[in-house]
Amino acid sequence: MATATKTFKNFIGGEWVDAGSGETFETTSPATGEVLGVFPKSSAEDVDRAVAAAKAAYEEWRLVPAPRRGEILFRFGALLAEHKDEVADLMAREMGKVLPEAAGDVQEAIDMSYYMGGEGRRLFGQTTPSELRDKFNMSVRQPIGVVGVITPWNFPIAIPSWKIAPALVCGNTIVFKPATDTPLLGERFVELLVEAGVPGGVVNIVHGGGGEVGNRLVQHPDVPVITLTGSRETGVAVLQSAAENLKHVHLELGGKNAIIVLDDADLELAVEGILWSAFGTSGQRCTAASRVIVQQGVYDELQKRLVGAAEKLRLGPGWEDGVDVGPVINKRALEKIHSYTEIGVGEGAKLLTGGEVASGNGLGDGSFYRPTIFGDVDPQMRVAQEEIFGPTTALIPVKDVDEAIRVSNGIEFGLSSSIFTRDVNTAFRAMRDLEAGITYINAGTIGAEVHLPFGGTKGTGNGHREAGQAALDVFTEWKSIYVDYSGKLQRAQIDTEL
């Protein structure tokens, strides 16, 4: 694929257009620093144009039969499948994922598009018996209007699909702001949607920063729905900003996920799960396992095996064969991750491996950080409480399953959780007692499937879910309908004889 510098545009009302100001910004590869593209640095004026286009398109799009809307998503999924290798390679270059992970990111979007395409022939409501004679009751889903979609860089194809596919099949229109670290992937996403047949104005993309583009989208009175994946701090700010207009706000925020390993666990399987969960995507997942809670009977052996396995992981550009861990997204992330290494050492945690910026062997121009493991971590240390969003995990020793569950729950987030045990009774107790939106038994903390709800409790979000049937509740409103065919006035909740 071509990676020569090219200038891109916003897509508004079915046309590719420059930002009104003419200002631009660059997207670069985190592995090499190479400039991959130049994008419009948009302003509130550009957002206003996109919202006006989406609002106008909504009046026709909401009337398109839902099965027809679903067929467009089927075509989009097929186009993603056709271009999967190309998009995965682009992701390895712009975002930094290793190719197998990048292909998995694209596959999630394919799966979501097919799943939500099928909802075009479902979108179930309910019928119920009436308390009155000769009367029919039902509830139906109604679209809401323009949806503001604000997505992060770590899943630059999958997460837009989680938001845009259900919003479209429900009959809404879109103004999409992709992350400024991955605008090229956002652009490609929209190009394929257009090729699939999405009408002009139904999907619009506006590139630029959160301060200019994101804030205006959140505050715009003609955008009744905002869906955001980002940090807790950003989520709180969005809620506050959207409150005046009583917007529907869906937030998917942070995580500080734990894997519990008990004395009866399969240690080989547990180490595999920890490696994948802690260091996959260089730890840059909201579901990453940045804590490993280990029962004392297997603590030393697990530590030994995990450190040995982590030190065998190969760092490098994501598109190279045999690479296990790619770069982190940018130099700012690199600095933040290393600052937490210094915090952990300062708190008295034992640095077992890693803890340094990786250089040499062709890594010097990129943003690489060595997989890092802390041992003998106290549950209240900052490295055990705060989201690091990098290839760092903390081993926390505990006496028993009671303490393990208390430690796992003892954080402000509640996204993903995991336990390795051969005891079915303990497994079911963990399913009940772990405070998280997702619980895995004998698997790591990552690997969601599109037909189940995705999201978390506590500081991870505001109660909504992505994926599965639950996603439809974000992008629709319920309407209750009563049909009285008695030919006379019947008053509900008024005492009458049968």
Query: Which of helix, strand or coil describes residue 45?
Result: helix
What does each C-alpha distance from 247 to 178, 221, 470 come to in angstroms?
20, 9, 18
Q: Is the Cβ–Cβ distance between 53 and 13 less than 8 Å?
A: yes
Q: Strands 416-420, 457-458: parallel, antiparallel or unpaired by DSSP? A: unpaired
What does each C-alpha distance from 238 to 141, 218, 256 come to in angstroms?
26, 7, 21
pLDDT of the residue at 493: 78
Q: Is the Cβ–Cβ distance between 218 and 241 less than 8 Å?
A: yes
pLDDT (tens digit per residue) in 426-440: 999 999 999 999 999
Per CATH, the number for 257-441 is: 3.40.309.10
Confidence of residue 2 (pLDDT cuts 50, 70, 90): very low
pLDDT of the residue at 455: 97
What is the Cα–Cα distance from 240 to 227, expressed in whole angstroms? Answer: 14
Query: Which of helix, strand or coil describes residue 42?
Result: coil
pLDDT (tens digit per residue) in 185-231: 999 999 999 999 999 999 999 999 999 999 999 999 999 999 999 99
Query: Which of helix, strand or coil describes residue 248?
Result: strand
What is the Cα–Cα distance from 319 to 72, expressed in whole angstroms? Answer: 31
The residues, ordered by sequence, that sit 6+ positions from 327 with a Cβ below 8 Å of its Cβ are 30, 31, 96, 282, 317, 318, 366, 367, 368
Question: From the centroid of its chain, how far is CA 396?
Answer: 27
pLDDT (tens digit per residue) in 44-82: 999 999 999 999 999 999 999 999 999 999 999 999 999
Q: Is the Cβ–Cβ distance between 310 and 371 less than 8 Å?
A: yes
Closest of 344, 354, 350, 416 to residue 386, by C-alpha: 344
φ, ψ of residue 259 to 5 degrees: the values are -105, 125
pLDDT (tens digit per residue) in 91-127: 999 999 999 999 999 999 999 999 999 999 999 999 9
Radius of gyration of the chain (CA): 24
Please report, rounded to a whole number, the percentage of residues in the chain having pLDDT higher than 90. Answer: 96
3 pLDDT more than 50: no
* Both structure tokens of 424: 């079915």
DSSP secondary-structure letter at 251? E
Q: Which residue numbers are catalytic?
A: 252, 286
Closest of 274, 268, 306 to residue 290, by C-alpha: 274
φ, ψ of residue 76 to 5 degrees: the values are -60, -45
Q: Which CATH number fits the domain 10-253+461-480, given the four candidates 3.40.50.300, 3.90.180.10, 2.40.50.140, 3.40.605.10?
A: 3.40.605.10
What is the Cα–Cα distance from 45 to 216, expressed in whole angstroms? Answer: 9
DSSP secondary-structure letter at 214? I
Confidence of residue 363 (pLDDT cuts 50, 70, 90): confident
278 pLDDT more than 70: yes
pLDDT of the residue at 1: 44
Domain coordinates in residue numbering, the chain: 10-253+461-480, 257-441
362 pLDDT more than 70: yes
Q: Is the Cβ–Cβ distance between 38 and 229 less than 8 Å?
A: no
pLDDT of the residue at 98: 98
Tally the C-alpha atoms within 13 A of residue 13's C-alpha that lie toward its C-beta: 12
What is the Cα–Cα distance from 50 to 206, expressed in whole angstroms? Answer: 7
Q: Is the Cβ–Cβ distance between 19 and 41 less than 8 Å?
A: yes
Helix 84-94 × helix 99-119 angle, to 10°: 130
The residues, ordered by sequence, that sit 6+ positions from 299 with a Cβ below 8 Å of its Cβ are 395, 397
Confidence of residue 498 (pLDDT cuts 50, 70, 90): low
* Both structure tokens of 255: 């995580």
Tell me which amino acid residue 155 is. F
Query: What HEC string does 418-477 produce?
Result: EEECCCHHHHHHHHHHCCCCEEEECCCCCCCCCCCCECCEECCECCCCECCHHHHHHHEE
φ, ψ of residue 16 to 5 degrees: the values are -85, 120
The residue-averaged pLDDT of 307-319 equals: 97
Apex 206 CA angle, 453 and 57, nearest 5: 75
pLDDT of the residue at 176: 98
Query: Which of helix, strand or coil describes residue 212?
Result: helix
pLDDT (tens digit per residue) in 444-490: 999 999 999 999 999 999 999 999 999 999 999 999 999 999 999 99
4 pLDDT more than 60: no
Mean pLDDT taken over the chain:
96
The residues, ordered by sequence, that sit 6+ positions from 84 with a Cβ below 8 Å of its Cβ are 103, 106, 107, 110
pLDDT of the residue at 496: 62
What is the Cα–Cα distance from 117 to 128, expressed in whole angstroms? Answer: 27
Query: What HEC string does 319-334 produce?
Result: CCCCCCECCCCCHHHH
* Both structure tokens of 175: 């103004």
What is the Cα–Cα distance from 251 to 459, expressed in whole angstroms? Answer: 10
What does each C-alpha distance from 223 to 122, 234, 449 come to in angstroms?
26, 18, 29
